[in-house]
Amino acid sequence: MSKSSRLHFTHSTVAFLLILTGLMLSSQSLRGALADLRIYLKYAHIVCGVIFAITTAAYIVPLTAKWKTFAWRTMQKAGYILFAFLAKGAIFTGVLLAFGMDIGAAGGISVLHLHKGLAMISITVILYHSFSELLNLLTTRSGVAEGGFQVDRRSFIRWSSAVAALFGGGVIANWLGRGGNENLFVNKEKRFSNCNQMDPPPLPNLGSVPPIGGGYEGEFEVFTVTKIPCANSDSWQFRLFGLVDQPLTLSWKEFLEIPRKVQVSDFYCVTGWTVYHATYEGILLSRLIDLGRIKSQARYVKFYSSDGIYTSALSLEQAKMEDVMVAVLMDGEPIPSDLGGPARLIVPKMYAYKGVKWINAIEFIAEPHDGYWESRGYENDAWVKGKI
C-alpha cells in the first residue's frame, strides 16, 4: 500500500468507527440496551475523533500539493472544501462536548445539536463519495466507462448514487429522530406526550403563570431507559422511608397540599444538550426531608422512579441545597409523562442524570448509593462544570 492509500484507509476506517459509535450513542431505542457500554462507547468515540482529527490534518500537505499541480474540476474542489469545513466543525464541537463545555443560549442550539447536524451532513457526503468512487472503480475496471455514450451513463450513475446517498442520509436522520424524539435544531412547536391522569392538576402559584423565566429555550430530548410509565392520581403514591422515625406515604392530594416554590433554572444533560431558564414549581427537597423526620445516621438520600429501574442519590448536604426540588409544573403546566411527570427531581447545579423522572419515593440511607448511570461510570458528584 502506498503512503497515500494507507492514509486514506486509516482515515475512512476511523470515520466509519466514528459514525458507528456516534449512532450507537445517539440512538434512543438502544439507550437502555447499550447503557452498560455507554461510557466505553463515549471513550471510543472520542479516541476515534482524535485520530480522525489527526488524519484529516495529515491530508493538508498532499492536498495542497495536488491542488496546484492538477487542474481539478471545480466540483471536486468544492467537495473537498465542504468536507474540510464539516470535519473542522464536527471536530470543534466534538472537543467542546468531550470537555463538557456549553456555548450558552445561542438561539437555544446546544453543542450536541450542532455536532449531530454536522455529522448528518458529513455522513451524506461520505456516503456519496464512497458510492461514486466504488461505482467509478467498478465501471472503469469492466471498461464500460470509456467512450461517448458511456460518459452519459457514468454521469447517470453519479447522479443516482447522489440520490441514493441523500436518501440514505435522510433515512438515518429519520431513524435517529423517531427513535429519540430528538431534533437536530430547535423546534419550539414541539409537544410532548402525556399519558398521566392526575386529578386535580396542580394549581400554579404566582410566578408559574406567566412563567417568570419567560418560558424555556432550547429543546428537551426525551430520555428514558425503560418504557415511559403512566400515572393515575388514584393509585399514585409518594413514599419517604429508610432511616426515619416514621415512614410516610402521601397520596397525590396530600402531596399537592405541601407548599411549593417557583424557581428558574437551566437543565444540563451530560451528553451536551441544554435547556435554558425553565420555570419550575415544586416542593423543596429540604422540606420533604424535614417532613421525613430523619434519624441521625442518615447521610444520603436515594431517589426512586416509578419505572422501577432508575435511581440516583445525593448526600444529605447536597439534597438540602436551596434549589433542589421535586417539581410538578414546568412553565406553568403539569410536567408531561415524557418529561418525567407527574413529579420529577430537579437538581439545577448538577447534570440532569440526577433529575430522576417519575420520582415516587425517597429513602434515607447511611452509605452512598450508586444510581443507574452512576453505577455505569457517571460521577456521583455530578456538578455542572466548564460552562463558558
356 near ligand MTE (CB under 6 A): yes
Q: Is 220 in the site for ligand MTE (CB under 6 A)?
A: yes
Of all residues in the shown chain, the one whose CB is closest to Mo ion is 269
Nearest distance, CB of residue 120 and ligand MTE, angstroms: 21
Q: Which amino acid is at 93?
A: T
Find the binder of ligand MTE among 213, 334, 341, 355 (CB under 6 A): 355
How are beta strands 300-305 and 311-315 bridged, if at all? Answer: antiparallel
- The helix/strand/coil state of 7 is helix
> Which of 87/345 has CB closer to Mo ion?
345
Shortest Å distance, C-beta 4 to ligand MTE: 43
Q: How many residues bind Mo ion (CB under 5 A)?
A: 3
Judged by CB under 6 A, the number of residues near ligand MTE is: 18
The answer to whether the CB of 50 falls within 8 A of the CB of 95 is no
Dihedral sign computed on CA atoms, order 230, 179, 277, 191: negative
Q: Report, in Å, the least distance between residue 112 CB and ligand MTE.
A: 11
Q: State which of residues 216, 255, 300, 353 lies at the interface with ligand MTE (CB under 6 A).
A: 353
Question: Which parts of the chain are beta strand (E)?
Answer: 217-218, 237-242, 248-251, 261-268, 274-284, 300-305, 311-315, 325-330, 333-334, 344-346, 359-365
The length of the chain is: 388
Each residue 32-71 as x (binds ligand MTE by CB under 6 A) or -, in order, gives ----------------------------------------
Beta carbons within 10 angstroms of residue 52's beta carbon: 21
Residues 250 and 262: their CA atoms lie apart, in Å, by 21
Rounded to 5°, angle at Cα 45 from 42 and 51 = 145
Of the candidate spans 26-34, 190-198, 207-215, 267-275, the one that interacts with Mo ion by CB under 5 A turns out to be 267-275
Of the candidates 213, 289, 224, the one whose C-alpha atom is nearest the C-alpha of residue 258 is 289
x/- binding map, residues 297-336, to ligand MTE, per CB under 6 A? --------x-x--x--------------------------
**What is the CB-side half-sphere exposure of residue 189 using CA atoms within 13 A?**
0
Stretch touching ligand MTE by CB under 6 A, among 112-120, 167-175, 198-206, 350-358:
350-358
Tell me if 34 contacts Mo ion by CB under 5 A: no
310 binds, among ligand MTE, Mo ion, none (CB under 5 to 8 A by kind): ligand MTE
Stretch that binds Mo ion, among 16-24, 25-33, 204-212, 262-270 (CB under 5 A): 262-270
Q: Is 377 left (phi over 0), alpha (psi -120 to 50) or beta?
A: left
Q: Confirm or reject binding of residue 224 to ligand MTE (CB under 6 A).
A: yes
Indicate whether 222 belongs to the interface with ligand MTE (CB under 6 A). Answer: yes
Close Cβ partners of 384 (under 8 Å, ≥ 6 residues apart): 268, 349, 350, 351
Q: Which residue in the set 269, 316, 321, 365 belongs to the binding site for Mo ion (CB under 5 A)? A: 269
The residue (of 101 and 135) whose beta carbon lies closer to Mo ion is: 101
Q: Binding to ligand MTE (CB under 6 A): which residues in 242-281?
A: 269
Q: How many CB atoms lie within 10 A of CB 251?
A: 14
Dist CA 362 CA 360 (whole Å): 7
Binding region for ligand MTE (CB under 6 A): 220-225, 269, 305, 307, 310, 339-340, 352-353, 355-358
Report the interface residues with Mo ion, using CB under 5 A: 269, 352-353
